[in-house]
Amino acid sequence: MIFGRKKKARSGEDETEVESVEAETTEDEVEREDAVDGDAPEPSDDDATETSVADGLDTEALDATEWRTDGPFEVAELAGTDDDLSDDQPRIDLGSIIVTPVPGSELRLQVNETQDIVSAMLVLPVTAPATNGAQPEVVGSSALELSAYAAPRSGGLWAELRDEISEAAAEVGGSAELAAGPFGVELRRLLPVTTPDGEQGYQPSRMWVAEGPRWLLRGIVYGQAAIESDEDDPAVAAVLAAFREVVVRRGDEAMAPGDLLPMSMPADLQPAE
């Protein structure tokens, strides 16, 4: 099921275009149809049986630090209400998360068999530096898969979930490693995939998590930005900026920690003919 929209939103003198919004049916949130983007080492036998931890990584200290100074934020933190954002920033409202579009980006909505939206994936182009006045050349892409969950008011859900996610990676023949990232402890995974030409490979990803009052926002990074770890790398910087611009709408409904916060199709989005 595909929905299409081309919308230009103007803020000041900057013009942003969202190329398309696509809804895809998926049976498993972990399954990816994307090909391996870039070279990734195959996991060792040790990596496949347990989560490795980067040398000197103090997970407790990282978990105790506040990493949301520059976002992502909750609606109430920006607007003082749970319903309205007063700024003129162009945004795509998906219910529990509000995405700020990136020029040249594509938004894909992942849905389950009952057509409920389970995640939103923002695909961003990676461009090579322009030379001799030429237009920048698109040389690849990165992707940011977004979903928000209910969490305890006291926090700490991420410390519990990453062990479960690491075990799941090992069960399918992949590997997982904890490392320091822009939001504290990040989870770096290698998952086995089949490329479009039928070859077997491993897809690298990085998992960023921001925890707010009674919510947790998860971003899974794929493509070029998953291979590079330097935050100053252009591909990483673009995805990081997009993640910080996400706004969460938690709502007041009582939900169990770990429950997916519901997402909805934007009101102005119509099925493509």
Q: What is the pLDDT of residues 13-59, one digit of tens each?
A: 334 444 444 444 443 333 333 434 444 445 544 444 356 776 678 98
Is the alpha carbon torsion for 167, 149, 4, 222 positive or negative?
negative
Burial class (CB within 10 angstroms; exposed 0-12, middle 13-18, buried 19+) of 255: middle
| 99 neighbors 122 (Cβ within 8 angstroms) | yes
- Indicate the pTM of the whole model: 0.79
In 3-state terms the chain splits into helix, strand, coil percentages (rounded to 5) of 15, 40, 45
Q: Which long-range contacts (CB under 8 A, 24 or more apart) does 193-196 make?
A: 193/32, 193/34, 193/35, 193/36, 195/35, 195/36, 196/35
Q: Per-residue pLDDT tens for 123-159? A: 998 877 767 766 777 778 899 999 999 999 888 899 9
pLDDT digits (tens, 9 = 90+) for 176-229: 999 999 999 999 999 999 988 889 999 999 999 999 989 999 999 999 999 988
Q: Which has the higher per-residue pLDDT, 244 or 34?
A: 244
What is the rounded CA–CA span in Å between residue 106 and residue 121?
Answer: 8
Name residue 150's amino acid.
A
Other CB atoms within 10 Å distance of the CB of residue 206: 23
